[in-house]
């Protein structure tokens, strides 16, 4: 997978957190009725792309984010085909599949080395590890946890652990699989963008300071 880097200087903590939150949101299971919320990510996406690069997209975020219910339905159907449907899927979105060679079944439980380590990391962040919702090693969960760790300036060591011991070990292989298996423009573009942004957050300096804009 070929990515295009943005600038090489430091990254504002707020921007890194928002970029990771965006990626986590886009990798989550899409709901057609949430079209407005998806469209609302366009502004933040454009800001992140101005600093981190657009991953090779032409024309910026609005061209590949959904514009209407039909496009949102296409993304939802593609998500089901790539990641969810019963039986083998082209691109299981779970770290344990890529590192532990753990089969992915509809009722897969949270087992394996990767998920056990991730649950310990999440507990360090005081994040709830429940039996409901996505499993701890789902791509969206790992990205959201990384964003949260970076939002707590005192948790940079935990963020680094999550990056180096987990995401960096499987993210590119997973995204390569998505880029090759995707029929639509959204997930192929998201796969490239994810590798690009995470690698920059991994290697560029994060400027110390508040993770969010201060109120006026």
* Blockwise average pLDDT, block size 10, the chain, 216 residues: 57 94 96 93 90 70 85 95 86 89 53 84 87 85 96 90 95 96 91 95 82 43
Distances (CA, A) of 213 to 120, 168, 209, 216: 30, 28, 10, 9
Residue 201: the pLDDT is: 94
From the list 172, 121, 180, the residue with the least C-alpha distance to 149 is: 121
- What is d(CA 71, CA 203) in angstroms, rounded to the nearest whole number? 34
- Domains along the chain with CATH numbers: 11-205 (1.10.3480.10)
Q: Which two tokens stand for residue 167?
A: 């995401």
Q: Which two tokens stand for residue 39?
A: 């469209």
Running DSSP on this structure, what letter comes out for residue 107?
A: T
Q: End-to-end alpha-carbon separation of the chain, Å?
A: 42
> DSSP letters along 45-71, please?
HHHHHHHH--TT-SS-GGGTS--SHHH
Helices (H) and strands (E) in the chain, counts: 9, 2
Q: Which two tokens stand for residue 211?
A: 């993770």
From the list 126, 125, 200, the residue with the least C-alpha distance to 155 is: 125
Running DSSP on this structure, what letter comes out for residue 126?
A: T
H or E, element range at 144: helix 139-151
- Strand, helix or coil for residue 12: strand
- What is d(CA 122, CA 145) in angstroms, rounded to the nearest whole number? 7
Q: Which two tokens stand for residue 73?
A: 């339905």
- What is d(CA 192, CA 23) in angstroms, rounded to the nearest whole number? 11
Residue 8: the pLDDT is: 73
- What is d(CA 213, CA 200) in angstroms, rounded to the nearest whole number? 21
């Amino acid at each position: 997978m070929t990515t295009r880097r943005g600038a090489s200087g430091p990254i504002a903590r707020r921007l890194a957190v928002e970029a990771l939150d965006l990626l986590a949101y886009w990798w989550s299971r899409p709901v057609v009725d949430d079209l407005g919320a998806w469209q609302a990510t366009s502004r933040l996406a454009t800001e992140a792309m101005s600093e981190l690069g657009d991953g090779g997209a032409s024309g910026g975020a609005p061209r590949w984010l959904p514009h209407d219910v039909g496009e949102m339905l296409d993304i939802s159907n593609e998500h089901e085909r790539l990641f969810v449907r019963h039986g083998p899927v082209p691109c299981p979105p779970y770290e344990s599949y890529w590192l532990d060679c753990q089969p992915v079944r509809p009722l897969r439980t949270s087992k394996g080395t990767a998920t056990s380590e991730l649950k310990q990391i999440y507990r360090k962040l005081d994040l709830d590890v429940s039996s409901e919702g996505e499993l701890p090693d789902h791509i969206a969960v790992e990205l959201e946890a990384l964003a949260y760790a970076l939002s707590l300036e005192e948790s940079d060591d935990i963020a680094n652990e999550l990056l180096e011991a987990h995401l960096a070990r499987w993210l590119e292989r997973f995204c390569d699989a998505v880029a090759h298996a995707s029929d639509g423009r959204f997930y192929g573009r998201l796969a490239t963008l994810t590798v690009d942004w995470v690698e920059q957050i991994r290697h560029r300096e994060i400027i110390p300071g508040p993770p969010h804009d201060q109120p006026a």
